[in-house]
Amino acid sequence: MDLEEINTIAVLGAGNMGHGITEVAAMAGYDVNMRDIKAEFVEDGYDQIEWSLNKLAEKDRLSREDADAALERVTPLVDMEAAVADADVVIEAVPEQMEIKEEVYRELEACAGDDALFVTNTSSLSITDLAEFTDRPERFCGMHFFNPPVRMQLVEVISGAETAEETLDVVEELAEEFGKTPVRVHRDSPGFIVNRILVPLMNEASWLVSDGEATIAEVDSTTKYELGLPMGTFELGDQVGNDISYHVLEYMHDVLGDAYEPAPLLEEKVENEELGKKTGAGFYDYENGDGVQIP
Ligand code: 3HC
């Protein structure tokens, strides 16, 4: 498939990454069907896109007309067949659990066009293993965006064992059409490149706090002001979602060994459903304290 043949994109999953990727694709002029399993999930994702486009327009990052036009290109859907039947590319951004992804790919394969490309926004799972849930491993690869997709420049384009070179080429071109900078990742290893570095950093920060060696404020001050990261490590964890970091770590722990064991603090956040900004609290409180540290 050539880039010029791509008109309609389906995004599966309307969560943080799904609605963010939908927004990016719609801003680039594509018609996007955003699908999730419940009407309330797609409605929430749609509201988030509207909020974000308004914010970009307010800050003069986008014209009002372009923001309105992008929103018009988004169709929120619950029905899988309606979402994917005419899609040239399907971007999967559903929860990071193999069983959920398998179910979604089986259903998708039954309804999608034979020529459609499938890409996954997985944060760490094996592209080769995910491709096995489809009948098109040569037209399947990773297309990993970063949170928030509308603001982050990088997209990792990851090859599975059977991905065709043409698939990687067109997905890289698509990332460029989205205004992003693609980096090709040749080895399908857990966490790819960024998460292999970033998630252990967040985990090490959690171990420091779990072991009583530093406070959240101390860690965030040093990572922000000395290491020069745009956010403190725990602020970033809340931005990404503590469940996401935890699932990536669990997978890296299983595949790569004990060095990746999730810290108790992170585990506790997931158990308490303090997942970060999306739930109103994580390492910081966003509902009551507008980002005040939780003791
Ligand atoms: N859409 C539109 N506006 C948004 C937004 C979005 N999605 N998210 C935040 N904003 C708004 C904020 O509401 C704020 O508005 P306000 O000033 O009116 O309150 C404004 O953007 C802040 O933007 P600024 O440019 O003024 O602020 P920053 O310079 O701090 O930039 C940032 C914000 C780009 C998010 C920056 O802090 C940053 O780069 N953070 C690091 C994020 C990062 O590393 N993400 C990758 C994580 S790893 C990952 O996602 C992989 C996964 O697989 C785990």
DSSP 74-114: EEEE--HHHHHTT-SEEEE---S-HHHHHHHHHHHHHHS-T
Domain ranges of the chain: 3-185, 194-286
pLDDT tens-digit readout, 16-49: 999 999 999 999 999 999 999 999 999 999 999 9
Residue-wise pLDDT for 36-86, tens only, equals 999 999 999 999 999 999 999 999 999 999 999 999 999 999 999 999 999
Neighbours of 149 (CB within 10 A): 23
- As for the ipTM of the complex, it is 0.95
38 in Cβ contact with 78 (< 8 Å): yes
36 backbone φψ class: left, alpha, beta (φ>0; ψ -120 to 50): beta
State what percent of residues in the chain have pLDDT above 70: 99
> What is the predicted pLDDT for the residue at 294?
75
Residue 190: predicted pLDDT: 95
Distances (CA, A) of 163 to 11, 188, 228, 278: 20, 11, 36, 34
Q: Which residue has the higher pLDDT, 97 or 184?
A: 184
User: Which are the contacts of 128, defined by CB distance < 8 A and separation ≥ 6?
Assistant: 137, 160, 161, 162, 188
Fold of the CATH domain 3-185: Rossmann fold (3.40.50)
Give the span between the Cα atoms of 150 and 67, in whole angstroms.
Answer: 12
Q: Is the pLDDT of residue 291 over 90?
A: no
Q: What is the pLDDT of residues 205-260, one digit of tens each?
A: 999 999 999 999 999 999 999 888 899 999 999 999 999 999 999 999 999 999 99
Report CA 21 to chain centroid distance, whole Å.
8
Is the fold of 3-185 the same as that of 194-286? no
Angle at which helices 194-210 and 233-240 pack, to 10 degrees? Answer: 120
Average pLDDT score over residue span 259-275: 97
**pLDDT for res 295:** 66
Q: Is 123 a residue of the active site?
A: yes
pTM for this model (two decimals): 0.96
Arithmetic mean of pLDDT, 133-148: 98
CA of 168 to the centre of ligand 1 (A): 28
Q: Which residue minimizes the CA distance to atom 1 of ligand 1?
A: 52
Each residue's pLDDT tens digit, 235-247:
999 999 999 999 9
The pLDDT value recorded for residue 130 is 98
Nearest atom in ligand 1 to the alpha carbon of residue 124 is 53
pLDDT value of position 35:
98
Is residue 195 part of the annotated active site? The answer reads yes
- Closest residue to atom 39 of ligand 1, CA basis: 230
CA 148–ligand 1 middle distance (angstroms): 6
User: Distance from the CA of 288 to the center of ligand 1, in angstroms?
Assistant: 20
Atom of ligand 1 nearest to the CA of 244: 54
| Helices and strands, counts by H and E, the chain | 12, 10
Atom of ligand 1 at shortest range from CA of 20: 7
Choosing from 92, 96, 156, 172, the catalytic residue is 156
Phi and psi dihedrals of 148, rounded to 5? -85, 130
* Cis geometry, peptide bond prior to residue 149 (ω within 30 degrees of 0): no
**pLDDT number for residue 270:** 97
Q: Residue 292 pLDDT more than 90?
A: no
- 194-286 homologous superfamily: N-(1-d-carboxylethyl)-l-norvaline Dehydrogenase; domain 2 (1.10.1040.10)
What average pLDDT is seen over the chain?
96
> Residue 31 has what pLDDT?
98
Ligand 1 — pocket residues by CB below 6 A? Answer: 52, 55-56, 123, 146-148, 150-152, 195, 198, 230-231, 236, 239-240, 244
Amino acid at 229: L
**Do 116 and 84 meet the contact criterion of CB atoms below 8 Å apart?**
yes
In the reported structure, the alpha carbon of residue 48 is separated from the centroid of ligand 1 by a whole-number distance in angstroms of 14
From 144, 172, 206, 247, the catalytic residue: 144
Question: What is the pLDDT, as a whole number, of residue 279?
Answer: 95
Cα separation, 216 vs 197, whole angstroms: 20
| Residue 76 CA to its chain's centroid (Å) | 18
